[in-house]
Amino acid sequence: MLIVLKERNNTSLIHEVQELLKKKYGCPSHIIGENRRVIAVTGDTANVEIELIESIDGVRSVDRVDRPYHLASREQKNRTLITVTKDCVIGDPKNVVVMAGPCSIDSEEQLLETAAMAKERGVKILRGGAYKPRTGPYAFQGHGEKALKMMRRAGEKYSMATISEIMKAEDIDLFEEYVDILQIGARNMQNYELLKAVGKSRKPVMLKRGLAATLEELLLAAEYILAGGNPNVMLCERGIRSFEREVRFTLCLGSVPVLRELTHLPIIVDPSHAMGKTRWVKDVALGAVAVGADGLIIEIHPRPQESRCDSAQLLDREHWNDCMDGITAVAKALKKRVL
Ligand code: PEP
Ligand code: MN
């Protein structure tokens, strides 16, 4: 960490800062340069509160130099490969893994019909919400455990792995039993107790970017899961809230190459929740493949108007086939295969 002071040779300030670093954080520090304006802090600086140092009168700026996440950092390794099943590896640069299914699991028939629609296009991971984080308390909240059991039966019937959103740490045993990938939704990205709980799980986790989270905050949330001992974490860009009202959320496709540089974790894009309208999902899905996403998570439904959740953004059979044709073509141009 480097601390730059406003004035040269301010001996009492240098002393004040160095004492604070030593007493509060146990960090040694050295004054560097002829001007005696830069303090280099060594040792474990993870606990040093940058805001506190910056608030000291006479301090111009503080540069952490090292990023605050270590396990998630690209410096650790090049890529994490998550083996969901032996023929489905997420994070392999040759693969684009598509996860698809309904927004909410409304009934067994609806889930099976939607799973068949996904399976026909070779999808290996079925998505579906059993616990739904709805903006208002009167909206459909999901069928809970009953829906998780339906998910398991649908997965077995079509030989597909499953992904579903977990909202409470107490539900971990239930999810361990019935689903293959744990999804942390955007609204829970900073639910630290939940992150710690899935950190102890053996199941892969897909962590969605919070509605107003920076990429650093997303990576720090991933760090919680990794620090808990679960190495199988993938990130999901699903758009953030901006001043723009024409789209449901503002999708940052640019975060894909940036995350690729910052982390070894696989990167998934969710075009459905970002765009909020069926007719816009395909173009953005294709863009996600073009910028190098490792996978996509897409909401589909045989009859979107019957869905109890997110009807406006679900792909019916026609849009779904068109979307998969496009994804396959873009992947092929990049010498990748769609799983
Ligand atoms: C979802 O994928 O079902 C969902 C609710 O998405 P998000 O958490 O990104 O809003
Ligand atoms: Mn949805």
What's the token pair of residue 49? Answer: 């509160």
Pocket test for ligand 1, best of 194, 273, 299 (most atoms within 8 A of CB): 273
* Protein residue closest via CA to atom 4 of ligand 1: 185
Distance of CA 276 from the midpoint of ligand 2 (Å): 9
Separation of CA 129 and ligand 1 centre (Å)? 9
User: pLDDT above 70 covers what percent of the chain?
Assistant: 100
Q: Cα separation of 167 and 53, whole Å?
A: 36
Of residues 294, 270, 295, the one with CA closest to residue 284: 270
Ligand sitting nearest the alpha carbon of 208: 1
CA distances from 278 to 98, 130, 283, 320, 326 (A): 17, 22, 10, 9, 15
- What are the φ/ψ torsions at residue 32 (nearest 5 degrees)? -120, 150
Q: How far apart are CA 339 and CA 124, in angstroms?
A: 7
Smallest CA separation from ligand 1 atom 10, residue: 186
Whole-number pLDDT of residue 125 = 98
The residue whose C-alpha atom lies closest to atom 9 belonging to ligand 1 is 186
pLDDT for residue 46: 87
What is the Å distance from ligand 1's center to 182 Cα? 12
Beta bridge partners of 52: none
Ligand 1 contacts CB of residue 248 (under 6 A): no
Q: pLDDT digits over 234-282, tens only?
A: 999 999 999 999 999 999 999 999 999 999 999 999 999 999 999 999 9
- Judge if the beta carbon of residue 186 lies within 6 A of ligand 1: yes
- The residues near 186 (Cβ < 8 Å, ≥ 6 apart) are 208, 209, 210, 211, 238, 273
C-alpha 314 to ligand 2 mean position (Å): 8
Ligand 1 and 208: CB distance under 6 A:
yes
Rounded distance from Cα 273 to ligand 1 centre (Å) = 7
* Distance between Cα 5 and ligand 1 center (Å): 45
Closest residue by Cα to atom 6, ligand 1, is: 185
Q: How far is ligand 1, taken at its centre, from the CA of residue 97, in Å?
A: 18
pLDDT of residue 67: 87
Per-residue pLDDT of 1-55, as tens digits, reads 999 999 999 999 999 999 999 999 999 999 999 999 999 999 889 899 999 999 9
- What distance in angstroms lies between residue 17's CA and the mean position of ligand 2's atoms? 50
Does 129 contact ligand 1 (Cβ within 6 A)?
yes
- Is 238 near ligand 1, meaning CB less than 6 Å away? yes
Q: What is the pTM of this model?
A: 0.94
Ligand 1 atom at shortest distance from the alpha carbon of 236:
9
**Residue with CA at minimum distance from ligand 1 atom 2:** 185
Whose structure tokens read 């789209």? 247
Q: What's the pLDDT score for residue 66?
A: 85
Of ligand 1's listed atoms, the one at least distance from the Cα of 186 is 8
pLDDT tens digits, 116-161:
999 999 999 999 999 999 999 999 999 999 999 999 999 999 999 9
pLDDT (average), residues 161-187: 98
Q: Decide: helix, strand or coil at residue 226.
A: helix
Nearest CA to ligand 1 atom 8: 185
180 pLDDT band, cuts 50/70/90, is very high
